[in-house]
Chains A and B, each alone.
Chain A
Amino acid sequence: GIQVEQSPPDLILQEGANSTLRCNFSDSVNNLQWFHQNPWGQLINLFYIPSGTKQNGRLSATTVATERYSLLYISSSQTTDSGVYFCALRGEAGTALIFGKGTTLSVSS
């Protein structure tokens, strides 16, 4: 099955810093999403991005499908950005979304 690797596993930032989270995958995908799981356990859908670049406020994401990676950029980080960021993807249509192990982000003031 398709393999998903996220890096770094942990990230500690001061408020205001920028960061880049990476997701590598082993095969072509037709669905890639980035999620944020906040400290209360809720899963927030950040981006649906099987290819290309999208931006939403301080967050943006880029997927280069031909090179099998996706990047999530967080600019001017805030304490509310803390939590776990998951990359999840699906290879073939009709199969389930597979999650990476996540990047745990801690932003301190």
Chain B
Amino acid sequence: NAGVMQNPRHLVRRRGQEARLRCSPMKGHSHVYWYRQLPEEGLKFMVYLQKENIIDESGMPKERFSAEFPKEGPSILRIQQVVRGDSAAYFCASSPAAGPYGYTFGSGTRLTVV
């Protein structure tokens, strides 16, 4: 049973380009969470999604950032017109449901904006 799969592992983008980060949850998991970790800091919650629904996006910057979790395929975190301050590690986690279940994290995507 494969864990949470994130790709790419490393992504380099020039300022102004778009970054697309993908996350495939564990088999049987229908809840996905995205977190951002800036250098030397903890993980900050960004967005919580179920299939075709955004449940909580209170941690998502209002501009340039969007997330989706379509009926088929992986969850996508999209950052438009990237700036240097977007450089960070982006982690995805999944859980079976909203109840008292543990989260499983992927290995993260390290975004570098040059």
A residues with a Cβ closer than 8 A to B are 30-31, 33, 35, 41-43, 45, 48, 50, 86, 88, 93-102
Contact = CB atoms under 8 A, between A and B. Distances in A.
A99 B43 CA distance: 6
Chain B interface residue bracket vs A: 20 to 34
B31 to A, nearest CB: 9
A96 B56 contact: yes
A21 to B, nearest CB: 14
B105 A31 contact: no
The 10 A-B pairs at the shortest CB distance, nearest first, are namely: A48-B102, A43-B105, A99-B43, A94-B98, A96-B45, A101-B42, A99-B42, A30-B100, A96-B48, A93-B98
Interface string B61-100: 0000000000000000000000000000101010000111
Contacts of A35: 105
B25 interface: no
B39 to A, nearest CB: 11
A64 B98 CA distance: 23
Nearest to A95: B56
Contacts, number: 57
Chain B residues touching A, majority SS: strand
A50 B99 CA distance: 12
Contact of B110 (A31, A41, A45, A96): A41
Interface of B: 33, 35, 41-45, 48, 55-56, 59, 89, 91, 93, 98-105, 107-108, 110
A97 B45 contact: yes
A88 B41 CA distance: 14
A41 B89 contact: yes
A81 to B, nearest CB: 19
21 contacts: A31-B102, A33-B102, A41-B107, A43-B43, A43-B91, A43-B108, A45-B102, A48-B101, A86-B43, A93-B99, A94-B55, A94-B98, A95-B48, A95-B56, A96-B45, A96-B56, A96-B59, A97-B45, A99-B35, A100-B42, A101-B42
